[in-house]
Amino acid sequence: MVCRCRADDQPSNDLWLDPGMKDVAAASDLLKPYDARQMRCYPVSTRINRVANDDEACSAAVELAQIQNRLFL
């Protein structure tokens, strides 16, 4: 399952991140699959792999480098 909270859905984010939230039904409502038609898929930089890099640039789309199709040139 995927949490359907999004950056632009502040009420859901607040509910999901509230450490004092005890309403199981409300939390369960957030645990529904997100509509795949609204999702985006794009490559991101490997800088996302380093916890010290904590900014919006981590999720910015990047161009993929040409992939080598043979082990030896």
Does 5 map to a domain? no
What pLDDT score does 5 carry? 52
Q: How close are the terminal C-alpha atoms of the chain, in Å?
A: 43
By residue count, the chain amounts to 73
DSSP 16-70: HH-TT---HHHHHHH-S---GGG-----B-GGGG-TT--SGGGGSB-PPPPPP-S
Does 1 map to a domain? no
Does 67 map to a domain? no
When divided into structural domains, the chain yields a total of: 1
Which residue segment(s) compose the domain that 47 sits in? 10-59
User: pLDDT for 5-41, tens place per residue?
Assistant: 555 667 788 888 889 989 989 888 888 787 889 888 8
Single-letter amino acid, residue 3: C
Does 55 map to a domain? yes
pTM of the predicted model as reported, rounded to 2 decimal places: 0.48
Does 37 map to a domain? yes
